[in-house]
Amino acid sequence: MRRVIRRMAGEVVERNGGVDDLVLVGIRTRGVPLAAALAAHMQEMEGREIPRGILDINLYRDDLSTVAQYPVIKESRLPGPIDDQIVVLCDDVLFTGRTIRAALDALVDFGRPRSVRLAVLVDRGLRELPIQPDIVGQKVATSPTELVEVRFEEIDGSYGVDVVSVAGEA
């Protein structure tokens, strides 16, 4: 997983032509450690600290009423204005595209970036919305009855990616 993230960081730097005007924004929860890991590798490559932020999308979800009766809203925190910046949204798994749609809605409440790019650790396909990642760690073919679980040391105590069957669950 560390090698994959290092490669992704290199891709972000290469596509951007460096790190000027770049802001990494991790989508809560597991997009945050991905953004941190990408930033660390990019800093090592470029010798500059990369601004990072955290985005909570719960209020922007189109399934908010089905997720929880009282959803927990956490703080979103960006390192400064994002107007005319290149924002790289970071998330662990891209599936239907609905999380990214919500993140885009949340992001525009903070300003108008020059461009928004999407970096995901795992692209599992099966999109419901026309959203495609710019930077992909790995593609994992899954069925609708499977779940991709990503673990980060900071949150889960270990690193890893597992595909778990959820067949038979309602």
Residue 48's domain is classified under what CATH number? 3.40.50.2020
pLDDT range class, residue 65, cuts 50, 70, 90: low
Residue numbers of the domain that contains 116:
2-141
CA distance 149 to 115: 29
Nearest alpha-carbon partner for 39 in 21, 55, 23: 23
Report the pLDDT value the prediction gives residue 170, as an integer from 0 to 100.
Answer: 45
Q: Is residue 125 part of a domain?
A: yes
pLDDT at 137 over 60: yes
Q: How many domains does the chain have?
A: 1
Classify 104 as helix, strand or coil: helix
Report the pLDDT value the prediction gives residue 67, as an integer from 0 to 100.
Answer: 59
The reported pTM is: 0.93
Q: Is residue 168 part of a domain?
A: no
